[in-house]
Amino acid sequence: MNSNHTLAKELEHHLISGFNKQIKRVQEPGHSLYHYTSLNSLMGMIETNRLWMSKGTFLNDSSELVYFSGVLKNVISKMVIPEKVSLWNLFTEKLEKALDHFMKEIVESGFEVYIFSMSQTEDSLALWYNYARGDGYNIGFSAADLLGKVSAHPDSSAALHGFVVYNKQEQEAVLTNFLLDSFELVSGYEAEQVAAALPNHFFSMIVSCAIFFKDTSFKSEEEYRIAIIGGGKEDDKVKFRARHGVIIPYIEVEFEERLPISHITIGPKNNIDIAKSGVEHYIKSKGYDLDKISVSKSVAALRY
């Protein structure tokens, strides 16, 4: 009979392969992704060759982790497995307990996930206002180069990346597929083995999906995320910065080489004539090639 360790490994592999199949990733060569931020953050990342990843519960839309709970509960209520009723009851019991544990983590510890948010949209009025207050900057990254560096990073085993899912039907389909595939996998094991392996599997599944599910009202952001799940391992790495009058916990992900920046855009409220020249002088002083990085002013028209 297969051991608990074997089932846990199978479930882990199933989760990773399922995530890569269900959550879309950048595929096209030459694709760019844009990070909207403040001037201080832009300079800090360029100065250190590090991405600054904010704690998930401190993002503008921190309620998204709670939003996920409602989606999952709706999926569970719709699912019926006529065969193997006792195993299905055990399966859903462990799933509901894992969800309760997840929600408790959010309330008690703020949940240790750190996120670097980007967008497919190069010059978005909504993103300028929400994340850079109109007078910030956005950094355009070569997606293939940036994500390749993330995948090769020593912390990559704890890192996930992909497009955020906004459509509720698509979200429910992702969860349903995960759950049905998981149930099929555990059906070949004894109940005791299943009961031992499911809590960690379900918690990992919930965490992975919750990070990439958002309410449809945020759809215009067209967000692409890199997320690192801490599990307490990042505690000694946490730093703090001020943002819009709030103290934000964040971690830094260091790269050996310079960040793969292809473009920098100056926010639409920044009407200082020397802003463009200042950015160009600064990035050149840090060893970046101005022939490979363009700097421009936003053409988005802000209306306040």
pLDDT tens sequence across 285-294: 999 999 999 9
pLDDT over 70 (residue 153): no
Q: Given pLDDT bands bounded at 50, 70 and 90, which one contains residue 261?
A: very high
The most confident of 107-116, 212-221, 237-246, by mean pLDDT:
212-221
Q: Is 255 in contact with 159 (CB distance < 8 Å)?
A: no
CA distance 24 to 224: 10
Tell me the pTM: 0.89
- Would you state the pLDDT for residue 232? 58
Q: Given pLDDT bands bounded at 50, 70 and 90, which one contains residue 152?
A: confident
CA distance 241 to 95: 36
pLDDT tens sequence across 10-67: 998 888 888 888 888 876 778 899 999 999 999 999 999 999 999 877 665 557 767 8
- Would you state the pLDDT for residue 234? 59
The token duo for 143 is 């997606």
CA distance 181 to 60: 34
Helix axes 168-186, 4-22, angle to 10 degrees: 160
- Would you state the pLDDT for residue 111? 66
More confident residue, 278 or 18: 278
pLDDT tens sequence across 81-128: 878 889 999 999 999 999 999 888 777 765 688 999 999 999 998 899
